[in-house]
């Protein structure tokens, strides 16, 4: 064997040894972190989600790529996206990690007190007036279970974004989701401050609102919210006019209290304000009843122990009547 052949052989052997050690150092949490980076859309977002530093997330992915001997992510100053190899790994990784988490979580059934985390995505009004109070009660009963609620108006893929469940109206749910009512039926109220009504007068019908300064709201996708009314079988829908356009119910309430116009808000937001005289409810006979919020979750064979306990708690809960 020549010196060159001997050197090539030693080099190949050295590479095999390094690959062997690298694969031995491959950790499950590195795979989970890689999945989080892609799901969250970047190192910083994944770091915030996990409560660690961005450098720790970056280092973990670097170690994973070194162990596998292939680049998994395309990195630019503005974005992170999986390479072809990264996409192939993710395709197999998602179901495998889910099975591992489920197997570990099944041990919770042997605990006297179940543990884990429930992550829920919900619009602001549902989170404020239904989900948060529910979570506070639930956590008192199950001290070993963590609850994370993310308020978001846009409709997202809860599976892709790592949520156990979401909250939306029934007509907004995907067909492959399981859903259950969350709370009583809903009603919108039309309200304004006493000061606004002294200046502008009081509308007597939904059509009269078109001559008023209404506080409008725009959905994240850009659509303007329309106002719907019903009275003795008659239904009316208007597109309100006004100088102020906002993006949340909290902002609308603040604007109404400031006398900036007439607002269209869920009863839950303004009930105390009306009782205490800060706001006046208008067009009471035209209130349209809506379905309740729905909690929805993937139609999976395996659901985490924490989520199963949370679902059971909701099924057994007695909700107050509308307006209570």
Residues 6+ apart with CB under 8 A from 209: 190, 203, 227, 238, 240, 262
pLDDT at 112 > cutoff 70? no
> What sign for the dihedral angle of Cα 82, 83, 89, 92?
positive
Arithmetic mean of pLDDT, 175-183: 83
**Percent of the chain with pLDDT strictly greater than 90:** 37
From 14-18, 104-108, 190-194, the region with the lowest mean pLDDT: 14-18
Average model confidence (pLDDT) across the chain: 83
The pLDDT of residue 16 is 41
Specify whether the CB–CB gap between 59 and 46 falls below 8 A. no
Q: What digits encode the pLDDT tens for the residues 227-278?
A: 999 998 899 999 999 999 998 888 999 999 999 999 999 998 899 999 999 9
Arithmetic mean of pLDDT, 165-186: 80
Residue 21: in which H helix or E strand, if any?
Answer: helix 3-24
- Cβ atoms within 10 A of the Cβ of 104, count? 12
Q: Which residues of 182-197 are buried (b: 16+ CB within 10 A; e: fewer)?
A: bbbebebbbbbbeebb
The pLDDT of residue 166 is 92
pLDDT at 6 > cutoff 70? no
User: Against a cut of 0.75, is the pTM above it?
Assistant: no
Specify whether the CB–CB gap between 232 and 295 falls below 8 A. no
Q: Which residues of 12-21 are buried (b: 16+ CB within 10 A; e: fewer)?
A: eeeeeeeeee
* End-to-end CA gap in the chain: 90
């Amino acid at each position: 064997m020549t010196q060159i052949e001997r050197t090539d052989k030693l080099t190949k052997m050295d590479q095999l040894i390094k690959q062997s050690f690298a694969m031995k150092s491959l950790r499950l949490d590195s795979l989970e972190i890689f999945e989080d980076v892609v799901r969250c859309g970047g190192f910083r977002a994944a770091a915030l989600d996990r409560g660690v530093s961005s450098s720790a997330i970056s280092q973990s992915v670097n170690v994973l790529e070194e162990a596998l001997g292939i680049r998994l992510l395309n990195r630019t100053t503005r974005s992170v996206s999986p390479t072809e190899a990264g996409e192939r790994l993710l395709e197999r990784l998602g179901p495998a990690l889910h099975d591992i988490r489920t197997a570990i979580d099944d041990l919770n059934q042997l605990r006297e007190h179940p543990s884990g985390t429930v992550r829920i995505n919900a619009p602001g009004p549902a989170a404020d007036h239904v989900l948060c109070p529910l979570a506070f009660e639930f956590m008192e009963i199950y001290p070993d279970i963590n609850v994370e609620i993310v308020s978001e108006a846009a409709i997202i893929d809860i599976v892709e974004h790592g949520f156990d469940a979401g909250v939306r109206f029934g007509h907004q749910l995907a067909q492959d989701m399981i859903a259950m009512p969350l709370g009583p039926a809903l009603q919108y109220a039309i309200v304004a401050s006493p000061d606004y009504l002294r200046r502008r007068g009081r509308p007597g019908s939904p059509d009269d609102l078109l001559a008023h300064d209404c506080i409008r709201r725009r959905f994240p996708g850009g659509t303007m919210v329309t106002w719907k009314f019903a009275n003795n079988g008659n239904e009316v829908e208007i597109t309100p006019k006004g100088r102020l356009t906002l993006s949340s119910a909290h902002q609308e309430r603040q604007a109404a209290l400031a006398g900036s116009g007439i607002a269209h808000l869920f009863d839950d937001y303004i009930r105390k304000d009306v009782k205490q005289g800060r706001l006046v409810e208008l067009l009471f006979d035209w209130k349209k009843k809506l379905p309740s919020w729905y909690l929805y979750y993937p139609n999976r064979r395996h659901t985490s122990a924490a989520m199963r306990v949370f679902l059971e708690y909701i099924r057994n809960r007695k909700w107050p009547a509308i307006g209570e």
